[in-house]
Structure 1
């Protein structure tokens, strides 16, 4: 008797079956993309695997694998997406410290609460001004000190502006953490629970993570390759984060698309600690005409 698992493969087996090649359309059984499956997530899709077996996979299962679908190889990850120069703008007047960006990032990168890639800091410019919330992550610097000090080339700068870390090359010396003036990096002291070790590793997803290596915000390049916005952008309920291409001079928060140059000029955009000469690719808009009054959070959830 055949094992029932051969008829209804798990998500892990499904990924392994299709990762080595594209599923084929045979005998009128079409291969569905992730986006098309989302329209009928309660149904199943019949796929032909590379070893010649027909399998049925729940569309909701395929949807859950969105960001893990055919990740870029280590070699591909070192090359930037051609013709792109990614940039981010954070509007401090809109931030309410909802922490949805943190939740989405933690979920996507399978992070534990002790090593988030995004922090929301309580800021106050002087004793007479009102405090405000400031989301902070890796600034993807054009002159990154972290890249210069890495002795093994595990940290590198791509042509599209993104700085990545290759965990399979990282030796855990933490020179990059010491060199980063923004404290944007975290060290993997342990593996997160329920980590799937069988998924193919890619620096573009930072999955699976490796003990004794460094991690950080990566701008979700696996999403960008599929013309999708980073998870922190789409998860924010207040449109705080804009993301786009500096070459096209456009950024969007998922609802509003604007000219990057116009936005920075009209709202006095600036870069955090720009005097250091790191040339960050993340801009901030001052907390002027705020959408929400500043509200304190509990000590457990706040960052200082």
Structure 2
């Protein structure tokens, strides 16, 4: 039997698993990334952890047929990382070559959100769909585009960066340094920023009471929780979020026309209180034909999406 190593490389922790090509996880572990020790040191420790998993499973190293890695940064040709988000590893780093030299096993890699999209497309919420877009709604907004069995990674590895579509001319500053991005409005960070602005002038609401007046501790989840309890102030914020989410997703539908949109991340966990109004607002922003038979679903793989999607690179 053939086995594969799936790796979800994170800024603090790295998840490693031994899987088969169908995405079944036989055993997994989490180690500290310790990126400050250097790229070769980190890759070597990851490989040692993968070998230990194989030994525990009585799998011979020769039966490990591939290593897939999800990378926090743009990846060119599943080989070279243009730059790393929050890693001191430089630019245009040949991770594929380095890992193959360390392990002797064929290695493929892609951007971490692309990998999550691949996981949901091959093994998760979009399994069986020919075209899907996965959108990660968290601190920022990431995306992955899957068309006819392939990820769309782009010429320089930046394909799928839907969070940086511009929704507002010269709008709010985004973490990327530009203005008016989808991410600056519809991410958890964008929603909290809008809520904070409103709370400074309106403290007569349930949300303000729920956080004991400590605006610094406000999280997106607090807003959704208060809205579910009927707080009009928070319901208006959810409507704000639904509007910009619909605008961004509508643009994606008009360009990609996917069969399924998979939503993941903390914001998507708000559920129907956000998704129901967002779907209604889509009619303002998406061509009618793109909404016909469209399914918008929540991701199902959770924390396993990274290592499963990494193995999906070998399908």
* TM-score, normalised with respect to structure 1: 0.29
The structure with the greater share of residues assigned to helix is 2
